[in-house]
Amino acid sequence: MYGWNNAQSLIGLFGIMAVCWLVSEDRRRFPFKLAAGAVCVQLALLLVLFGFKPAQGLLNAVGAGVDALAGSTQTGTQFVFGYLAGGDQPFSVTNPGPLYLFAFRVIPVILVVCALAALLWHWGVLRVITRAFGFVFQKTLGLRGAPALGTAATIFLGQVEGPIFVRAYLDKLTRSELFTLMTVGLSCVSGSTMVAYAALLKGTLPNAAAHVLTASLISAPAGVLLARILIPPKPGEETEAGEYGTDRRYDSSTDAVIRGVGDGLQVALNVGASLIVFVALVSLVDRLLGLAPRLGGQPVTVEGMLGVVFTPLAWAIGAPWREAAAAGRLLGVKLVLTEFSAFIQLGKTPADVIGGHTRMILTYAICGFANIASVGITASGFGVLAPERRGEVFGLVWRALMAGFLATCMTGALIGALPNVLFGVKA
């Protein structure tokens, strides 16, 4: 049934666009046509994936594929790490919960999926899918060839890996196009992390793999839209069709797998290192805040402050007020501690604290690389890919963080505005 919570999400959907317009570089040129096109693309993808019966089989296959990847990865991890990765325990286990170690259960998935993605790219499968989405973005969102391909590649490969495929054209992009690619990279996630997120949510959200995949797909149009609102193209720019190619090549299937493992290792190390450092920094700040007087009998913490700051945003995108504080806290955790920490905490949050409707909204609102740690990854990555534009990249990256964060929230609001029955989730 359609209720007030669904209509409430429209406040966030249009409010986010309004906020970006207020801080736009040119408020006289709001892209109304692009706004309609981006929302229509998002709706079309959602209706096809969740409302078209044959697509349900595809989504079920995605879920089965994720389970197979997770199981196969665990087999390989157990071969190397034994009982630390869930293998036969050398002692009697009375509490199996602590045996789930993030380093041995989630991070190895990144390695396997990166290798598989490289192999599928070499075989042409991923290239066909990427070009298809690039064509759709070119026709519906008005992107030129290279930015359209870069946007599509970013959905599957990541915030820096995607632009690698059009690195030969980065110096030719307009300022607006460069900002759009940066924003899309922060509003989506990579294929390697999608599987890890689905594993974290498997027990708390039905068909979590399908939702995580869909979240990354439909956040790309939102990222393009908000980027164009913040930094619109100047009149006369982007009139040429542009090139539509890539410079990523593998010599053989073996080369693809080996190089994919190497790329995956870098991603896995970045994820692990970022989690260690940012969790430690927040813990340090919490210890300092612990010296302050208590508020309402509770100690002052970073998560508590973030919950207060983002409670109105969580409510605007569709969370009931009684759940808005908890939802706002998770949005803040995503921004400060990375989406991995937010997904871990979302998976552990009881159903009586965050219900099915809000949990689904947060799955989409959290699913993006827009966090403080990714600012450095984006700035350094684009700085290497387009060294002649390093100064421009550094000047845009914090605005891209804002746009990417709000793009995922906008996607969550769109999900919240649709009837729950479409997704088979109870309020």
143/63 Cα distance (integer angstroms): 31
Letter string b/e over residues 201-224, b meaning 16 or more CB atoms within 10 A of that residue's CB: bbebbebbbbbbbbbbbbbbbbbb
Report residue 282: phi and psi, to 5°. Answer: -65, -40
Whether 96 is covered by a domain: the verdict is no
Whether 41 is covered by a domain: the verdict is yes
Under 8 Å between Cβ of 16 and 409: yes
In this prediction, residue 192 carries a pLDDT of 64
**What's the number of domains the chain is made of?**
1
Mean per-residue pLDDT, 232-252? 65
Give this prediction's pTM. Answer: 0.80
Q: How many residues does the chain have?
A: 427
Confidence of residue 231 (pLDDT cuts 50, 70, 90): very high
pLDDT of 399 > 80? The answer is: yes
Please give the radius of gyration of the chain, using alpha carbons only, rounded to the nearest integer.
Answer: 21
Whether 22 is covered by a domain: the verdict is yes
In this prediction, residue 37 carries a pLDDT of 87
Please provide the average confidence, as pLDDT, over all residues in the chain.
81
In this prediction, residue 343 carries a pLDDT of 85
Whether 339 is covered by a domain: the verdict is yes
In this prediction, residue 245 carries a pLDDT of 52
- Give the range of the structural domain holding residue 166, as residue numbers without chain letter: 4-85+101-422
Whether 92 is covered by a domain: the verdict is no
Whether 298 is covered by a domain: the verdict is yes
Whether 321 is covered by a domain: the verdict is yes
Whether 395 is covered by a domain: the verdict is yes
pLDDT of 237 > 70? The answer is: no
Q: Which helix (H) or strand (E) holds 281?
A: helix 253-289
